[in-house]
Amino acid sequence: MGETKRQGVLIADDYIEARKNIEDVIIVPFDKAKAKGTGYNLSPCTLIYSVNKKRLLKVHQNEKEVFVWVDPHDTILTISREYVITKRSVAGTIHSRVRMSANGLGNVSTTLDPEWKGKLLFAISNPTKRRIKLCIEEKSDGKVKPVALVTMTLYRTGFDSEGVFEDTLHLDNPPMRVDIWQDLTEKPAGLRGAQYERFQQIIQRVTEFKAEKGTRYHDLQRIIDKVTTVKEAITRKDPIDSIKALTISLEDELARADGDELLKKKFVAWNELLKNANDLGDVSQEKRGKAESSLLRECQYLIMCDEIDQHDQFIRQQIDQYWEGGEVTRFFKKWIFPNFTALFAIALIIMILFWDKDYSTVQKLMLASVTPIITVLMEWMSRRFNKS
């Protein structure tokens, strides 16, 4: 903190270092595999709005993927899974990934301002004459992996970047360009009033979301409280042995816990300064301050990870999802709908043959007209079924 940073574009190692030290840019949650080359790949969530339909799209899923259909000449709006915080010294741009453009979707090109805090909104257009599948998640070996949609490229601008992130490491009402969502929810409902009202309600719930303080929060808050207690004891100049005793239970608890290796490492770095001291004079105020700040920021970052995960799960609960993997569904889509006309005609002929009665001309005309009418109706239903 405070040292001069190399100006220019951030590379993968910079993103990884920023996550380790929680500085310059904070990406919640952070995935090391998404830091590649000169950028960091961002993924969409399941909140996807159709500009033409003026409603949220139904999310489809099967055994291999989770996706939505983007209609011809439609534009969709979605927000990133990741919550991004940047300092005054960092700005950036956001670009489409080649795979998305190769499928026919329009390019994403926008900017990320310094001192940004929140999820990011993307507008993606389909300029083609065909429906395009936009994959959100891939499934493999029982695991679900978010699909990278765009690449965020960040730059250090050279502006002053003093200070740390303690005051910003918490989940506010997610910005996610609330002004744009607000404009969308204030437009006339049109013919689909019920769907539009539901869209308004979902946006209100998502933007006003408040995370619950569960077990994860209380475990991390206990560490924060312990650090504060030790800091107060040092300020009072309590005996060094009594200060050391304050962290023993927490040290044992972290040693038994699974995961959070970086948190454990930062705790040990802070705790060792106390354990190795014979008196308070041996505790370097500068070293203790850095270790203390690093540990507190890690706790706050992990709390925020839990909050963002809750927010993503909350969004999923609001969105209609359609499972395409059922045997009955596959049977109807593969065999019944495409061959309905022939199946209906065969059934009608069989019915006529087994009915032992003569038909008048009017009756025959009525029977003859049933097949095309039903066919047109079923084709319309099939299109609706596939788009829903």
Is the separation of the CB atoms in 202 and 56 below 8 Å?
A: yes
Per DSSP bridges, beta strands 132-140 and 143-146 are antiparallel
CA pair distance 182, 175, nearest whole angstrom: 11
CA pair distance 47, 55, nearest whole angstrom: 10
pLDDT in tens, the chain (388 residues): 445 677 889 999 999 999 999 988 999 999 999 999 999 999 999 999 999 888 899 999 988 999 999 999 999 999 999 999 998 889 999 998 888 888 889 888 888 988 898 899 889 999 999 999 999 999 988 888 999 999 999 999 877 655 545 556 666 555 567 777 777 777 665 556 677 788 888 888 888 889 999 999 999 999 999 999 999 999 999 999 999 999 999 999 998 888 899 999 999 999 999 998 888 888 788 999 999 999 999 999 999 999 999 999 999 998 888 887 555 555 565 556 666 666 666 666 666 655 655 666 566 556 656 666 666 666 666 555 554 4
Of 158, 191, 156, 174, whose CA–CA distance to 54 is shortest?
A: 191
E strand residue ranges, the chain: 8-9, 25-28, 35-36, 39-42, 44-50, 55-56, 59-61, 65-70, 75-86, 90-96, 109-112, 117-125, 132-140, 143-146, 150-156, 321-323
pLDDT at 18: 94
pTM equals 0.79
What SS3 class is residue 162? coil
Can you give the length of the chain in residues? 388
Residue 299 CB contacts under 8 Å (≥ 6 apart), including other chains: 220, 221, 223, 224, 263
pLDDT at 24: 86
Cα 387 vs. chain centroid, distance in angstroms?
Answer: 23
Is the separation of the CB atoms in 47 and 136 below 8 Å?
A: no
HSE-up of 333 (CA within 13 Å, CB side)?
Answer: 12
CA pair distance 37, 152, nearest whole angstrom: 11
Which CATH number applies to 8-165+175-208?
Answer: 2.70.40.10
pLDDT at 239: 92
Give the residue extent of every domain in the chain: 8-165+175-208, 215-311, 327-387
β-sheet bridge partners, residue 78: 48, 122
pLDDT at 189: 58
Q: Which two tokens stand for residue 104?
A: 């026919």
pLDDT at 1: 44
Q: Which two tokens stand for residue 232?
A: 């107060």
